[in-house]
Homo-oligomer: A and B are copies of this chain.
Amino acid sequence: MATTQTPPNHYDIVIVGAGPVGLMLSTCLARWGYKIKHVDDRAEPTPTGRADGIQPRSLDLLRNMGLKSAIMAHKPARVYEVAFWDPPQSGKGIARTGTWASCPSFIDARYPFTTLLHQGLIERVFISDLERNGTHIQRPWTIKGFTSNEKENADYPVEVQLEHVDGTASETIRAKYLFGGEGAKSFIRDQLQIGIKHKDPIAHVWGVMDGVVKTDFPDIKMKCTIHSAHGSIMVIPREDNMVRLYIQIASSTDPDWDPRKSATECEVQESAKKILQPYRIEWERVEWYSVYPIGQGISDKYTLDHRVFLGGDACHTHSPKAGQGMNTAFLDALNLAWKLHAVESGFAKRDLLYTYEPERKNVAETLLSFDNKYAKLFSQRPPAASEVEAASERSTKAEPWEENEFVKTFKESCEFTSGYGVAYKPNNINWSPEHPAKSPHLGPDGCKLTTGRIFANADVTRVIDANVVHLEQEVPLNGSFRIFVFAGKLEKTRQSLGDLATHLASKKSFYSQFLRRDLEDVTHHEQHNPHSLLFTLCTVFAAPRNSIEITRDVPDLLARYRSHVYADDRRDRRVPEALAAAHAKMGLDEEKGGVVVVRPDGYVSCVASLVEGSGTVDALNEYFGAFCTKKLGETMAQL
């Protein structure tokens, strides 16, 4: 909610750092109407180098924000496969030992590739969006100090001192929250005296070079991992004919390990030339070159008081090999953003914020441990061709491989690096049998969705305009829970669908308890939030589009979301036999339907059966009642 009547030096949030994590948080909150003070100590966005890999899941997210086309307009490189090069069994030099899909087909991704683009260009796409929403980044400004005390000031407990980097100006402001997205050397983390744990004790010094080369190395446009007698290189293609090379300069496993070891641009190029033999490589231009030591680390805490939060590199540093930095940062910010919104809009209890750290810290830990496990497994022996095939393809003969450690680890690793492996554990938002909501209608049998994991992809036909759309993208990133009513076959579910609408409309439902304050003034063109800023409702029928008549078949409350009524009438190659492929992918019976609640960040939070009577809404009241601020429903009173 916009807090327009606050004093000028009072903000909803102060965000320090305008890298990926700060920009994602700021962009979300600015769209949802929050008053933001966003500072960055650099005069300009990242000019060269830095993180540049956008994973498949992140591209989904950017599309959901309407930012994907602006990113793609820069013509980024797309990595579909990774090539492995090793010393040949006989002879000198290097030889390709195999290529693997970077996002294999067993992952149901809309964009099965990694997108490579200069971080500064990505940042500028966010900055433009921020500016359209009235938030400007104050540069070059930095944080000098802060305090947080809810007892002193319950509404604006955080006081922050900001200063121009040249010391010529300063200001002290108050905020509800402070967010540290300042990178690995976080001032805020240091002030909070939060330590960093290193998952893997091995540290490395990396040289990284972006440039334009002339080479006869055939895979220069592919992502490559190259091991040779002269050392190792990673090749990553970039936009504008550029290529990034990562060269390991030193490792803490070296006998003469020196974390301050360095190498000149020229030395690294000479080293690369040796490693790539028998191929030639010459540099036409070097855009950026840097040497930095890096270890995998995770900060002990992401917050101490749920007012001052950390995210992105301030919380976790990765090996650049995994290409995870920006993607993990985006998801940290998104996770926090919707929770702040849910709390500040009066919907969720404050302890919803307590889920930020465990959810995101667990993801960072899992990511790092898989990265290590995978690297170790890979270093033991090169995989056999049959293992590669089993790991890359969605095979019906998968069973015999399930026990194979390599195949298993590779698959899990792919899921994680593509971004689809994120699995938030059960808690008050991610329903499980241990959740306070005990309705028998929650977690219906046969459902293939897993709470805490991303909502499945599905093509459907929008009824009002016959457009073929991606169901999972239909609700924009508006901070609302997405409630997908899979209504199955109309003739079977007419009663239960009507009952669902009736009970949603009843005064004590989760839906009716959080209506918009400006309900009377909402334009009839509003598509996503006509009644509530916290929920968007979608209805999907297992029927051909032309058989659905919204005014006849859809109860009024659901029909108000007229651009969110869909026909599940598109074929899907993953369920080729299914006539209603979306229902089939979700594992929801066409005869019965079901209701899927998806968190504002796109993760499934709970699934309920669609039943006649009040059961479905009762179940959802129980579910939302576990973390919302109001007492819901009648059944709650009886419990």
Question: Shortest CB–CB separation between residue A566 and chain B, in angstroms?
Answer: 13
* Chain B residues whose C-beta falls within 8 Å of the C-beta of A546 in the assembled complex: 99
Question: Shortest CB–CB separation between residue A283 and chain B, in angstroms?
Answer: 13
Neighbour of A551 across the interface among B113, B216, B220, CB < 8 A: B216
B464, A222: Cβ atoms closer than 8 Å: yes
**A218 beta carbon closer than 8 Å to chain B:** yes
**A517 beta carbon closer than 8 Å to chain B:** no
* Chain B residues whose C-beta falls within 8 Å of the C-beta of A70 in the assembled complex: 73
**A399 beta carbon closer than 8 Å to chain B:** no
Stretch at the interface among A26-34, A77-85, A195-203, A408-416: A77-85
* Chain B residues whose C-beta falls within 8 Å of the C-beta of A549 in the assembled complex: 218
Considering only residues 551-584 of chain A, those with a C-beta below 8 Å from chain B are 551, 563
**A466 beta carbon closer than 8 Å to chain B:** yes
A218, B464: Cβ atoms closer than 8 Å: yes
Question: Shortest CB–CB separation between residue A234 and chain B, in angstroms?
Answer: 16
**A468 beta carbon closer than 8 Å to chain B:** yes
Q: How far is it, in angstroms, between the C-alpha of A468 and the C-alpha of B79 when the chains are bound?
A: 10
**A467 beta carbon closer than 8 Å to chain B:** yes
B218, A551: Cβ atoms closer than 8 Å: yes
A69, B73: Cβ atoms closer than 8 Å: yes
Q: How far is it, in angstroms, between the C-alpha of A213 and the C-alpha of B219 when the chains are bound?
A: 56
Q: How far is it, in angstroms, between the C-alpha of A524 and the C-alpha of B78 when the chains are bound?
A: 21
Report the nearest B residue to A220, measured CB to CB.
Answer: B464
Q: How far is it, in angstroms, between the C-alpha of A113 and the C-alpha of B466 when the chains are bound?
A: 10
**A241 beta carbon closer than 8 Å to chain B:** yes
**A185 beta carbon closer than 8 Å to chain B:** no
* Chain B residues whose C-beta falls within 8 Å of the C-beta of A530 in the assembled complex: none
A241, B466: Cβ atoms closer than 8 Å: no
* Chain B residues whose C-beta falls within 8 Å of the C-beta of A220 in the assembled complex: 464
Neighbour of A467 across the interface among B72, B113, B550, CB < 8 A: B113
A80, B466: Cβ atoms closer than 8 Å: yes
Q: How far is it, in angstroms, between the C-alpha of A283 and the C-alpha of B333 when the chains are bound?
A: 42
Question: Shortest CB–CB separation between residue A269 and chain B, in angstroms?
Answer: 18
**A465 beta carbon closer than 8 Å to chain B:** yes
B222, A466: Cβ atoms closer than 8 Å: yes
- Digitize A307-332: 1 where CB-to-B-CB distance is under 8 Å, 0 elsewhere: 00000000000000000000000000
**A507 beta carbon closer than 8 Å to chain B:** no
Neighbour of A465 across the interface among B69, B78, B461, B464, CB < 8 A: B78
Given contacts A69-B69, A72-B69, A99-B546, contact A214 B524 (CB under 8 A): yes
Report the nearest B residue to A73, measured CB to CB.
Answer: B69
* Chain B residues whose C-beta falls within 8 Å of the C-beta of A551 in the assembled complex: 216, 218
Q: How far is it, in angstroms, between the C-alpha of A70 and the C-alpha of B222 when the chains are bound?
A: 28
B467, A78: Cβ atoms closer than 8 Å: yes
Q: How far is it, in angstroms, between the C-alpha of A546 and the C-alpha of B219 when the chains are bound?
A: 11
* Chain B residues whose C-beta falls within 8 Å of the C-beta of A550 in the assembled complex: 218
Q: How far is it, in angstroms, between the C-alpha of A237 and the C-alpha of B464 when the chains are bound?
A: 11
**A397 beta carbon closer than 8 Å to chain B:** no
B218, A525: Cβ atoms closer than 8 Å: no
**A221 beta carbon closer than 8 Å to chain B:** yes
Report the nearest B residue to A571, measured CB to CB.
Answer: B573
Q: How far is it, in angstroms, between the C-alpha of A19 and the C-alpha of B467 when the chains are bound?
A: 29
- Digitize A338-350: 1 where CB-to-B-CB distance is under 8 Å, 0 elsewhere: 0000000000000
* Chain B residues whose C-beta falls within 8 Å of the C-beta of A237 in the assembled complex: 465
Q: How far is it, in angstroms, between the C-alpha of A563 and the C-alpha of B73 when the chains are bound?
A: 20
Q: How far is it, in angstroms, between the C-alpha of A26 and the C-alpha of B113 when the chains are bound?
A: 36
Question: Shortest CB–CB separation between residue A285 and chain B, in angstroms?
Answer: 11
* Chain B residues whose C-beta falls within 8 Å of the C-beta of A216 in the assembled complex: 551
* Chain B residues whose C-beta falls within 8 Å of the C-beta of A465 in the assembled complex: 77-80, 221-222, 237
- Digitize A196-235: 1 where CB-to-B-CB distance is under 8 Å, 0 elsewhere: 0000000000000000101010111110000000000000
Q: How far is it, in angstroms, between the C-alpha of A376 and the C-alpha of B145 when the chains are bound?
A: 79
Q: A221-B464, A221-B465 are in contact. List 19 more A-B contacts (CB 8 A).
A: A69-B69, A70-B73, A77-B465, A79-B465, A80-B461, A80-B467, A80-B468, A81-B466, A99-B466, A113-B467, A212-B525, A218-B464, A218-B550, A219-B464, A221-B563, A222-B464, A222-B465, A222-B466, A237-B465
Binding site for B on A (CB under 8 A): 69-70, 72-73, 77-81, 99, 113, 212, 214, 216, 218-222, 237, 241, 461, 464-468, 524-525, 546, 549-551, 563
Report 20 cross-chain contacts, Cβ distance below 8 Å, ordered by A residue: A69-B72, A69-B73, A70-B73, A77-B465, A78-B465, A78-B467, A79-B465, A79-B466, A80-B461, A80-B465, A80-B467, A80-B468, A99-B466, A99-B546, A113-B467, A218-B550, A219-B464, A220-B464, A222-B465, A222-B466
